[in-house]
Structure 1
Amino acid sequence: MSQPPEPDQPPSPYEPPPGGQQPPYGQSPGEQYGQDQYGQQPSSEHYGQPSYGQPSYEHPGQPPHGQQWGQQPPYAPQGPYGQYGPPSPQQGGGGTNVLAILSLVFAFVFAPAGIALGHLAKRQLRTSGEEGDQLTTWGLALSYIFTGLYLVACCGWLALVIWAGSPGTNT
């Protein structure tokens, strides 16, 4: 059985209040007896005077402009269904174009692919506003140079095979 609280101690929050009454929803048992949830008497802030560190307002008892005490600030407006975050601007550049980088890389790996990627990157750079025009130019130039060297090497090798296999030369 619970005993009534002593005069100098607040009632226990774990025991029902005397008389079997429950405090209103959202209110702790101590608040029902003029105390806050920690068992202390209300400060001067409850009487219209701000406590130390609290902002003061021209009209005591009025909430700050635009917001009530205890309420969350309003959420930002949500975009249309299926989109994430705020819409991004169409113009304005967002870094280096990926195809520009790939055209430079493929100039050394497989030059004909570097040519194709370079021309695609040039077309994208005209419309998107991204960076990478100089990378694309270097990728195209190196791709054309290496493709020309590959063609010269292949034609030279083919000419050597044909010349070595012809029956007219005896040495």
Structure 2
Amino acid sequence: MSDTTPPPYVPEPTPYAAPVAAGKTNTLAIVSLVTSLVGIGLAGVITGHISLGQIKRTGESGHGLALAGLIIGYIGIAFGVILTIFWIGLFIAAANSNSYTGY
């Protein structure tokens, strides 16, 4: 008697998507965010604008970092301008006060 049993069932391997390599993050976008957070708003704004242009051209990741660096940088610059105007006004008011009893 011959054995005519079929071979055991072996499922076909399921195809899977190859892992996608994460895109390179733009270095200037990171610099923009860090300098804005440290308090160097002007550098954050400048590097943020440059990095947005590079990201648009090269397709790198980091758009959100650059945008956050720009926003925080502009807020820091505005705060600095307001604080400077306040201090100048305070010094002018102090200089014009009549309570000075100089020699």
TM-score by length of 2: 0.70
TM-superposed deviation, 1:94: 4.4
Q: Which stretches of structure 1, 4 residues or longer, exceed 4 Å deviation after superposition?
A: none
Q: 1:103 aligns with which of 32, 36, 48?
A: 32
In structure 2, stretches of 5+ residues that fail to align are 1-21
Identity of aligned residues (%): 35
Cα-to-partner distance string for 1:80-129 (whole Å, 9 max, x where unaligned): xxxxxxxxxxxxx8410000000001112310110000000011001111
Q: 2:60 aligns with which of 127, 130, 149?
A: 130
Cα-to-partner distance string for 1:118-169 (whole Å, 9 max, x where unaligned): 0000110011111000001111000001110011111101111111011x43
TM-superposed deviation, 1:170: 2.5
Q: Secondary structure at the match of 1:131?
A: coil
> Within 1, Cα distance between the matches of 2:95 and 2:37?
33
> Within 2, Cα distance between the matches of 1:107 and 1:96?
18
Aligned ranges 1:106-117 → 2 under 5 Å: 106-109=35-38, 110-117=40-47
In structure 1, stretches of 5+ residues that fail to align are 1-92
Q: Secondary structure at the match of 1:112?
A: helix
- Structure with bigger gyration radius: 1
Aligned ranges 1:43-58 → 2 under 5 Å: none
Equivalenced residue count is 79
Cα-to-partner distance string for 1:25-71 (whole Å, 9 max, x where unaligned): xxxxxxxxxxxxxxxxxxxxxxxxxxxxxxxxxxxxxxxxxxxxxxx
- 2:89 — aligned with what? 159
Amino acid at match of 2:25: T
Structure with higher RCO (Cα < 8 A, 6+ apart): 2
TM-score by length of 1: 0.43
CA RMSD of aligned residues (A): 1.9
Aligned ranges 1:71-82 → 2 under 5 Å: none
If each structure's helix is expressed as a fraction of its own residues, which one has the higher value? Answer: 2
> Within 2, Cα distance between the matches of 1:128 and 1:170?
63
